[in-house]
Amino acid sequence: MNSQNLRVRFAPSPTGFLHIGGARTCLFNWLYAKHRSGKFILRIEDTDLERSKKEYLEEILESIKWLGMDWDEVHFQSKRFGLYREYADRLIKEGKAEQKDGAVFFKYQMQRIEIDDLNRGKIIFNELPKNEEVIIKSDGSPTYNFSCVIDDALMDINCVIRGEDHISNTPKQILMYQALGFSIPKYAHVPLILSPSGGRLSKRFGATSIREYKEQGYLSKALANYLLLLGWSPKDNREIISLQEAKDIFDIKDVNKTGAVFSLDKLEWINGEYIRSMSLDEFTDLAGSYLGEKSFLPENLEREEIKKIVGLFQVRTSKLADLITSMKPYFDQEVIYSPDTQDVLEKPLVKELQFLIEGLKIIQDFTKENIEQGFRKACEDLGLKLKNLVHPVRVALTGTKHGAGLFETMEVLGKDKVIKRLNKIIQYWRMIQDHGKI
RNA sequence: GACCCCAUCGUCUAGCCUGGUUCAGGACAUCGCCCUUUCACGGCGACGGCGCCGGUUCAAAUCCGGCUGGGGUCGCCA
């Protein structure tokens, strides 16, 4: 095989969304083609007319593009039924297949089949469980193994990279290549992605489709990066690597042979790394459009306003969906105290906060520097340690015990909201003082 | 059950092909310390692994065999 005309393909079936495992197989195909200046062909295996759906097809194509890949050709098996029939008839004529019950059966003899796998070396089958295989179903549509062979041969695919769940299909397919006189492609079977509980990544495991990750606010580059690292490594301890960089050094033979367990923790970390590496403007645009799509942002919110709030959380965000929780207190009219703030709510600091409010009121320019100065002064006058006032105030302003720096938070919130929310907690404290604990 | 694939820290992996340079390196997670108004980020550190048994060899994570364990496939689904 001349590396100049390497032709690989990814062959999804539009009977579901593009999932994590398929995306990774696609990535490996694409990377290998790019690395060897070959062609990457997309073949839509829509022979199951019942289950194939247009929305899935669109979703798959969109996901592939979203992840940063492109293709040189795209073919649809549903438009090639005549071709499959033609080759089936040829096999019948040559006595290698026979028509039975409306279907066409390919007949074969048991024999030793050797696969020279680019990834795992020789795989030898000494026997096969059957001696015939349906190639054309009684409804006239081809079976997977047959259309796959015909198409790979006719499309000049000379290297088949697919999941290892296809290893056992390979000997049957090789027999068909031989019967039809086609030249057999190289094969590379890559391992499957496993769920944390061991088995194959299934519906039981949270999100499996690429679109779900997109919706959760994972960045396409981060997801591609993570998927790439699942079974492949640049060997120099790099964890953050782009498709462009990988293209130069990727080889299918370097892909691991072991199934890899999918780790959401690591994906989140990588995603966080990408988020943290963005400029605030880039992040604002990204977060803005994400939150806009989710209809989370209030109408007519200025970009500068989004930028301020988002700036508070960039370093604390591992996926965009996190922003919905962290930004909520900034838009809500009323602060909702989260359950774990109970200890703070039980210790009234009415006089102290009233004193603080007076100090804040006289700040002309409500910037974090001025706020900090006034805040520290108030603590000093009250004889309180900074943190003893910071925590209750944070709860009063955001309803949570954790979050961005308090003074920045106050600046973003603005003087009016800050004072209003401080008064609200004072009111709450007075109420429990008057009526005892609720 | 039959056939096939695989086997380094909890997880992803480097090392294995070309045995000694490795009392096995990195990352995530976990734990601790530092920074600090909390969380996060960042910095530092800790914990933790060559599945087992044989063989080859002066020497094995690295080569060979067996066992065990995990996974996949046995559809007129793809």
> CATH number for the domain including A118?
3.40.50.620
Residues A237 and A372 in one domain: no
Q: Tell me the average pLDDT across A115-124.
A: 94
Strand B, nucleotides covered by protein (CB < 7 Å): 1-8, 10-15, 25-29, 37-42, 70-78
CA of A121 to C1' of B58 (A): 32
Q: Which residue is nearest to nucleotide B7 (CA to C1')?
A: A258
CA of A250 to C1' of B22 (A): 26
Percent of chain A with pLDDT over 90: 90
Domain boundary among A190, A205, A227: A190
pLDDT of the residue at A203: 55
User: Which of the nucleotides lies closest to A77 (Cα–C1')?
Assistant: B78
To which residue do tokens 């290998």 refer? A32
CA of A117 to C1' of B9 (A): 30
User: Which of the nucleotides lies closest to A404 (Cα–C1')?
Assistant: B39
Residues A67 and A200 in one domain: yes
User: Which of the nucleotides lies closest to A132 (Cα–C1')?
Assistant: B76
Instruction: State pTM to two decimals.
Output: 0.95
pLDDT of the residue at A4: 55
Q: Tell me the average pLDDT across A228-238.
A: 96
Residues A167 and A88 in one domain: yes
Q: Per residue in A393-423, pLDDT tens?
A: 999 999 999 999 999 999 999 999 999 999 9
Residues A69 and A85 in one domain: no
Q: Which residue is nearest to nucleotide B70 (CA to C1')?
A: A198
Asked if A327 and A284 touch (Cβ cutoff 8 Å), the reply is no
CA of A125 to C1' of B62 (A): 28
Q: Kindly tell me if the per-residue pLDDT of A29 is higher than 80.
A: yes
The reply to whether A271 falls in a domain is: no
CA of A177 to C1' of B38 (A): 66
Q: Per residue in A305-347, pLDDT tens?
A: 999 999 999 999 999 999 999 999 999 888 999 999 999 999 9
What is the span of the domain harbouring residue A310? 278-331
Q: Kindly tell me if the per-residue pLDDT of A3 is higher than 50.
A: no
Which pLDDT band holds residue A435 (cuts at 50, 70, 90)?
confident
Tokens at residue A148, please? Answer: 């796959």
Q: Kindly tell me if the per-residue pLDDT of A1 is higher than 50.
A: no
Separation between Cα atoms, residue A39 and residue A72, nearest integer Å? 6
The reply to whether A282 falls in a domain is: yes
Residues A151 and A221 in one domain: no
The reply to whether A270 falls in a domain is: no
Q: Per residue in A171-197, pLDDT tens?
A: 999 999 999 999 999 999 999 999 998
Q: Tell me the average pLDDT across A275-295.
A: 97
* Nearest alpha-carbon partner for A207 in A431, A19, A8, A422: A19
Which pLDDT band holds residue A21 (cuts at 50, 70, 90)?
very high
Strands (E), A18-158: 39-44, 73-76, 97-100, 103-107, 113-117, 121-125, 132-136
What CATH number did the domain enclosing A379 receive? 1.10.10.350
C-alpha distance from residue A276 to each of A41, A240, A243, A328, A403 (Å): 35, 12, 19, 21, 16
pLDDT of the residue at A303: 95
* Average pLDDT in chain A: 94
CA of A169 to C1' of B74 (A): 10
User: Which of the nucleotides lies closest to A164 (Cα–C1')?
Assistant: B72
Domain count, chain A: 4
